[in-house]
C-alpha cells in the first residue's frame, strides 16, 4: 500500500470513530418531553361503526332473530281489522288476484312492512349508537334506521318507508312513514296506501332471548282507526343467514 493510500485510510477511520462517539451525545441532548406517548387502541368496528358506541343503560338487540309464530294473516290484538269501504274493496281485489296466481306474491318485490316481521325467515339486528340495522334473509332486504332522524312528510315514497328510531325507557321504538303502495301488509293481501304510518315497538326479555313486539298500523284511507298486531321474536344463536333471493318463478 502506498504512503498516500495509507494516509487516506487512516483519515477515514478517524472520521467514522468521531461520528460514532458523537451520536449518543446528540441523542442524549433531546428533551424528555419529545418522547412519543403510547398510542391509544382504536375501538373495534363492524360495518364502519364503532361497536362500543352504544349508549349505556339501553338494551342490546343485536343478534339473529326469527318470528316464533309467523302469520300469513295479521290479527289485531283486539277486535277485527277495521277496514274502511275502500279497504274492503282493495282487500277483496288482492285476495282475488292471489287466488288466480296474479297477486303481488308472485312478483320479486320487497315484502314491505310489517310483513317482513311476520315471515318464517330469520333476520339480523345490528345495533349501534347512532343507528339500528335490520338485515332480512327474505330477498336480501336491509333497512338502516337512524336514532333521532327527522321524518320529511314530502319525501318520495319508498318500499320500506322512511324510519326513525328512539328509546322509550327500555323499549326500542321505530316510527316510519313515506311508504309506496306496492306492497301488502301481510301474505293474505291486507292493503295500504301512501298515507300508511307504522310504529314498531321492541321489548327485550330479561334473559335476552326473546323480543316481545307490536306494530301499530295507521292508514286513514284503508282503515277506520289505528290498530295493532303483536309478534314474538326468538333469538337464533349460531344460525347463519342463507343467500335467499327471489326468482321469477319463486313465491316468497
Q: Tens place of pLDDT for every residue, the chain, 252 residues?
A: 444 444 444 344 443 343 443 333 333 334 444 444 444 444 445 455 445 577 788 999 999 999 999 999 999 999 999 999 999 999 999 999 888 877 777 777 888 899 999 999 999 999 999 999 999 998 889 999 999 999 888 899 999 999 999 999 999 999 999 999 999 999 999 999 999 999 999 999 999 999 999 999 999 999 999 999 999 999 999 888 888 777 655 555
Contact 105, 139 (CB under 8 A): no
pTM of the model: 0.77
What are the start-end ranges of the E strands in the chain?
45-46, 49-50, 63-67, 123-127, 131-136, 141-146, 162-168, 171-177, 197-204, 210-218, 227-235
Q: Which three cell numbers stand for residue 22?
A: 458523537
Write phi, then psi, for 100 (nearest 5 degrees): -90, 0
What pLDDT, on the 0 to 100 scale, is given for residue 240? 85
Are 57 and 203 contacting, i.e. CB atoms less than 8 angstroms apart?
A: no
Side-by-side strand order, sheet with 227-235: 141-146, 131-136, 123-127, 63-67, 227-235, 210-218, 197-204, 171-177, 162-168
C-alpha dihedral, 104 to 105 to 108 to 109, nearest 10°: 60
How many residues comprise the chain? 252
Amino acid at each position: 500500500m502506498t504512503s498516500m493510500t495509507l494516509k487516506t485510510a487512516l483519515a477515514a477511520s478517524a472520521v467514522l470513530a468521531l461520528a460514532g462517539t458523537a451520536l449518543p451525545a446528540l441523542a442524549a441532548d433531546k428533551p424528555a418531553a419529545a418522547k412519543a406517548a403510547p398510542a391509544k387502541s382504536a375501538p373495534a368496528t363492524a360495518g364502519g361503526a364503532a361497536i362500543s358506541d352504544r349508549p349505556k343503560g339501553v338494551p342490546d338487540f343485536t343478534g339473529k332473530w326469527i318470528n316464533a309464530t309467523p302469520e300469513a294473516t295479521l290479527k289485531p290484538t283486539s277486535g277485527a281489522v277495521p277496514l274502511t269501504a275502500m279497504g274492503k274493496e282493495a282487500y277483496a281485489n288482492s285476495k282475488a288476484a292471489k287466488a288466480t296466481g296474479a297477486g303481488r306474491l308472485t312478483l320479486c318485490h320487497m315484502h314491505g312492512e310489517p310483513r317482513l316481521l311476520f315471515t318464517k325467515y330469520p333476520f339480523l339486528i345490528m345495533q349501534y349508537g347512532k343507528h339500528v340495522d335490520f338485515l332480512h334473509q327474505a330477498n336480501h332486504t336491509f333497512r338502516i334506521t337512524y336514532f333521532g332522524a327527522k321524518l320529511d312528510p314530502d319525501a318520495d315514497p319508498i318500499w320500506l318507508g322512511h324510519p326513525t328510531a328512539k328509546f322509550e325507557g327500555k323499549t326500542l321504538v321505530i316510527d316510519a312513514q313515506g311508504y309506496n303502495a306496492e306492497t301488502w301488509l301481510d301474505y293474505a293481501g291486507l292493503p295500504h296506501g301512501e298515507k300508511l304510518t307504522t310504529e314498531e315497538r321492541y321489548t327485550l326479555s330479561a334473559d335476552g332471548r326473546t323480543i316481545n313486539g307490536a306494530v301499530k298500523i295507521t292508514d286513514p284511507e284503508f282503515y277506520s282507526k289505528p290498530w295493532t298486531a303483536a309478534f314474538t321474536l326468538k333469538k337464533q344463536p349460531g344460525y347463519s343467514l342463507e343467500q335467499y333471493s327471489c326468482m321469477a318463478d319463486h313465491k316468497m
